[in-house]
Amino acid sequence: MKTIKRITTILATLFAAMGLYAQSSVQPYRPLSDFEYRPKEYLQHNFVERKEFYVGKPFSELLKDLEVPIIHFWDINRGRVMEDIGIELFFENRDVTSYRIRQQRVVSLSLVIYFEDAVSGAITHRRLQLYGDNWHIINAAFYGERIVRDISVWGENPSDLPPLPDDFFDEGSTLSFREPQRPITKLLMANAPVAEALEATTLA
């Protein structure tokens, strides 16, 4: 009996030590400045190589650490059932993302988050109609509650991609794919209170 207790104690100590070693062996978070402001390397190190810090936790925990400003996002849908299983975060203007794909045949840098839960595509499509795909406080609140399942990085650093035409952002340019801003986006960009923005348009 004493032998069994001794073995149990040894095993418990061993497992505890292994857990502490695993925690201590994980690389620490490094700020964007450590990577000479190259966002792909920053995202890869902090959120892919260290994904265990965020998997199983609300997405809002990752957002607290993210130093690169999110400009817009795309939902990730699964198959014919049209379930929303994740989100792709972009760090360039929507027009730039579209131009790179359609004209330059390259992919803008993005951080891809897969969630543990699946949300009906009808819900996320309705939200997209109402709130748009710009990243603002209302979209951050909705997605921030979802639990992270996996994380990956797609695309390349903007500085490593082909340059945009000189007149890309000129008023009236036919090169971009501008979309009219939805009312919710206009309110938020004008720094209107969240309550006012929510009153302007709500989910049916």
Distance (Å, whole) CA 74 – CA 203: 19
Tell me the C-alpha distance between 67 and 34, whole Å: 12
Q: Give the model's pLDDT for residue 94.
A: 85
d(CA 96, CA 7): 62
Q: Quick one: pLDDT band at residue 181, thresholds 50, 70, 90?
A: very low
pLDDT score, position 186: 42
DSSP letter string over 62-129?
Answer: HHHH--SPP-EEEEEEETTTTEEEEEEEESS-HHHHHHIIIII---B-EEEEEEEEEEEHHHHHHHHH
In sequence order, the β-bridge partners of residue 74 are 88
In this structure, how many other beta carbons lie within 10 angstroms of the beta carbon of residue 46? Answer: 25
Lowest mean pLDDT among 41-45, 51-55, 86-90, 104-108: 104-108
Is pLDDT of 188 > 50?
no
pLDDT in tens, 101-149: 888 888 889 999 999 999 998 888 888 888 989 999 999 999 999 999 9
**Mean pLDDT across the stretch 10-16?**
55
Whether the pLDDT of residue 204 is over 50: the answer is no
What global pTM score does this model have? 0.72
Diameter over CA atoms, the chain: 85
pLDDT of 20 higher than 70: no
The pLDDT of residue 179? 43
Tell whether the model's pLDDT for residue 24 goes beyond 50.
Answer: no
pLDDT of res. 104: 86
Tokens 């009906």: give the residue. 120
What's the burial of 110, exposed, middle or buried (CB within 10 Å: 0-12/13-18/19+)?
buried
